[in-house]
Amino acid sequence: MKKKMFVLMISLLALVGVLGTSYAFLRAEFQSDKNQKLGVANFGLELIADTNSVSLSGGTKTYPMTDEEGLNNPKMDFRIKNSVNQTANYRISLTDTDNLKSTMENKDVRYQLTKTRSSNNKTEIKEITNLSQNGVLEEGTIEPGEVITFSLVMWVDIEANPNGLVFNKVILLEGMQSPTLDKSGANYPELLDNMIPVYYDKLSDTEGIWKIADVKNLNADYEWYDYDNFIWANAVTVKESGSKTRDYYLNAPMGTEVRMEDITSMWVWIPRYKYTIFDEVEDTSKQVIDIKFEHGIDTTGSVSCTDKILTNVNSTSSEVCTDKVNGSIKSNVSTYTHPAFSFGEEELTGIWVSKFEMSTDDKTCTDNPNVANCNKNNLNIIVKPNTTSLTNVNVSNMFSNIRSMELYGNIHGFAQSEQATSVLDKNSNLTGEIANDNNNFDTHMIKNMEWGAVSYLSSSKYGKQGNELYKNEYKDVYSNNYYSKSTYKSGYSGSNRIATINSSKVLYNNLTIKENQGYLGAGASTTGTIYGVYDMSGGASEYVMANQVNTSGSFYPSGAGTWTASVKPLDKYYEKYSYSNSSEDVDKAKLGDSIKETPTSEIMSEKSAWSSYGTMTTSGSVSSLFTTEALTGAPVISNTSRAVLAVNRELPWKK
C-alpha cells in the first residue's frame, strides 16, 4: 500500500541562552552559521552548528514511520564547547520562537540523540524516545575546554496523525557556571515569581525572624542554602496585602524581614537525587542512606521500575524492577533515581514540599475541628508553624483543597489564567486536571513517593542523620507531640523520638542545645536545623496519595469521598498498589516509598485502601518518619496532609 504523505515541516535553527554567574538568563537568537558564539562576562559556552537548518520536507520522508525507517532520515550535527576554565552545566532543548510556531505536539515526534565527548572519545547513543513536553533533549556537565558533538535524527511517530500540522523548532542551548555557596551539587531551586527565598536570623535561642535571602546564593551574609551544612533551601509566599504588600516583599532587598503574619505558605526544596538501595534496619536512628544529587533531570541510577499491579488475595509485589548495570538488584550496590522526581511524563529537577502540616484560614474549622466544620472542598490552605492542623477531611477534599492553591485569585499569588477558577476538569470531574490551566507548575497532595524522597534525604549525610549535633537515638527526627482538646498544631517538638502528648513540648525555632540531643526544637526537622521539613514524625498523621486497587484492578476510593472506580485522580497524582486483604502484606510496597526498605507498620489493604504516614504515638513508643498505617480515606480527627509543588522547567525568557 502506498503511504500517505502529510504536510509537515521540521526545521532546526540554532538558539543560545546563557545562564551566567548572576543566574540571570540572557538570550541571543540567530540562524545558525558556523562557529557562532555567545559569551557573558567570563562565561563562554559555544554552540556550533554545521548547517543552517535541516528540513524534513521535499525528498525527505515526512509521513508517520517506524523507528527503523526513521533512523534513516537526515541527521543534524552540532557541537557545544566550553571555552573557559570552569566546569559548566548545560541543557539542550527544542523550542518554539516568536517566528517559529509548531502546531504538532512534541509527543508525536520521535528522535535519537548521539553524543561524543572529546575528553574520552566515547560515543553514547541515547535510547529512542518521543520528545517530551518541555522539549529537553539532553542535560549534563561539560569540562573546561571540552567539546561535545551531537547528532540528532527525528521522525514522525508511527502512531501520530499529523495531517496539516507543522513542527518547527530551534535548538536552545542553556548553560550555567556559578560560584554558589552550595557545593553539594544540588540542583538550583525552581523558584516561581511569587516565591521569596528566605533565611533565618536567630535573635536568641527561642526567637528569630525570617529574612529575604540572596536568590543567587553568592552572598554569605544572606545565604539561601547549603545542603552540605543542613541548610535546605526555604521559600515563602505572602499575602497580597498584609502588614506589607506582596509587591513590597518581591522587590525588597536582601536582609528584609518577612513577617510571619504576612506569610501564607512555607516550602522546602528537595533536589533531585539517586540513592543506593539499602537493607532495612530495625533502629532507624542507625539508617544511613547513600545519596548523590543529580544534575538537571539526569537519570543516572542503574535501576528502573515499572508498575505490575496484581489482584491476588495476598499480592507480593506492585512493580517490576531491573538493574541495567548489575543484572539484578543488589542491596548496597544498585542505585535508583528516586521516583518522586518523575511527575507523569515530566522529569523534575526537584520538588517543593510544605515545611509544615497544612492548616486553613477557616476559623470555623480551626476553632472547633470536626467533620461538619472541616470536611469541605473550598478551604484556603495555610502552611506555617503554630497553626491548627487541618483534620477531619476526607482524601478527595484534601486533594481538592490543595489543587485549589493554584486557582486564579489564590491567596498565595501563584500565577494562573483568569478562566481557571474551578478545581474540576472540563467534564466537571475531580481528576486533578484544572480546566484552562496555563501555568507551568502544579500544587498537589503529597504522594507517598514524595514523602519517601524527603525521609530518605533526611536519613542521608545531608539530613539529620548526618548532623553531628545529634548522637545515637537522637538522630531520629523528634516527634511533634502537640495534642490538646482534639487539636493538633504544626511546628512543635517533643525534643525526643519518644514523646507522648503529656511530655514537654517546644516550638520549631527553639535552638537551645543539649549535649548529644542537639536543638530541642529544630531536632523535629528533617535536617536537625531550622531549615528542614517539620511534622513528619508525630503531629497529626498524614494522608498520602497512595491507593490499593480493588479485586478488578481498578481504582478503589473506599471512604475517600467523591471519587469512583472510573472518576478518579489522574495517574500522576497518586501511587498505585496491588490488591491484598491484609495490611501486613508489605512485600507489595515499592522502592522509594518509605515502606519497602524500612521497618514500617502497615500498608493499604482490602478494608483500608489508603496510606497515612508519620503517625504520632500516645503510648510512649517510637514515632518516626517511617511509621505508617492503613486507613479508608474517610475524614479522621487525627489525620491531615501536606502540599507539594512541582515546577516544570520553563524557558528563561518566559519567566
Mean pLDDT by 10 residues, the chain (655 residues): 41 43 27 37 61 43 86 88 77 75 86 93 92 86 89 91 78 72 90 96 97 93 97 98 97 98 98 92 76 89 95 89 92 96 93 98 96 96 98 97 96 94 90 91 97 97 97 93 91 87 91 96 98 95 96 94 94 96 89 87 89 73 79 95 87 35
- The sign of the CA dihedral 427, 429, 433, 435 is positive
**What are phi and psi for residue 88, nearest 5 degrees?**
-125, 150
What is the pLDDT at residue 24? Answer: 25
Query: pTM for this structure?
Result: 0.80
Q: Concatenated DSSP letters for 275-286? A: EE-----S-GGG
As to burial, measured by CB atoms within 10 angstroms (0-12 exposed, 13-18 middle, 19+ buried), residue 493 is buried
Among residues 151, 180, 129, the alpha carbon closest in space to that of 79 is found at: 151
State the burial class of residue 616 (Cβ atoms within 10 Å of its Cβ: 0-12, 13-18, 19+). Answer: buried
User: How much is the pLDDT for 44?
Assistant: 64
Q: Which residue has the cell 548522637?
A: 471
**311, 577 in Cβ contact below 8 A?**
no
As a whole number of Å, the CA-based R_g of the chain is: 25
Residues 72 and 108: their CA atoms lie apart, in Å, by 18
The domain ranges of the chain are 10-176, 196-271
In Å, how far are 213, 431, 523, 587, 649 from 435, measured between CA atoms?
35, 10, 42, 38, 21
Query: Is there a contact between 403 and 431 (Cβ–Cβ < 8 Å)?
Result: no
Q: With contact defined as beta carbons under 8 Å apart, do 538 and 494 qualify?
A: yes
Grid-cell match 528542614, residue found: 532
Q: Report whether 198 contacts 232 (CB < 8 A).
A: no
Contact 361, 382 (CB under 8 A): yes
- With vertex at residue 650, the alpha carbon angle to CA 647 and CA 652, rounded to the nearest 5 degrees, is 130
